[in-house]
Amino acid sequence: MEKRKILLVDDEVDLVKTIKFSLELEGYKVLVSYNGEDALNQARKENPDLILLDIMLPKLDGYKVCRLLKFDEQYKHIPILMMTAKTQEKDKLMGKETGANEYITKPFDMEELMEKVKTYLNK
């Protein structure tokens, strides 16, 4: 069986390493992008099974990446879990409006993140 593919997008290198390690332990193939523009290109090229997406990114923010993918027939099926330090209600609302499936605030519990990932990939 082919490994499920996850696109991990964040500009914090240490956080990316930590999450990538945990996901790979669970048996996922992890693709990484450190800015929104690369994330969008990689999502379109690789068609991942799930995207973990930071909001505050260089080049294109996570809201724009999410909106561009969710309003495209070819990619709107991909679950997007936003991970962000933005905790205000207006930010969460914006996440929902752009089509994010989940809005996870940093710092988050790694086990909870892994459970959310499994939930979306086992649907």
**What is the chain's length?**
123
Q: Are 57 and 39 contacting, i.e. CB atoms less than 8 angstroms apart?
A: yes
Q: How many CB atoms lie within 10 A of CB 13?
A: 10
pLDDT tens-digit readout, 50-77: 999 999 999 999 999 999 999 999 999 9
Q: Are 84 and 91 in contact (CB under 8 A)?
A: yes
Q: Exposed, middle or buried, 28 (CB in 10 Å: 0-12/13-18/19+)? A: buried
Give the E-state strand segments of the chain in sequence order. Answer: 5-9, 29-33, 50-54, 80-84, 102-105
pLDDT grade for 113, boundaries at 50, 70 and 90 = very high
Instruction: Express each pLDDT in 2-57 by its tens digit.
Output: 789 999 999 999 999 999 999 999 999 999 999 999 999 999 999 999 999 999 99
Check residue 35 and give its pLDDT: 98
Domain 5-116 CATH class label: alpha beta
Q: For the chain, give every domain's residue range.
A: 5-116
Lowest-pLDDT choice from 46-60, 81-95, 104-118: 81-95
In this prediction, residue 51 carries a pLDDT of: 98
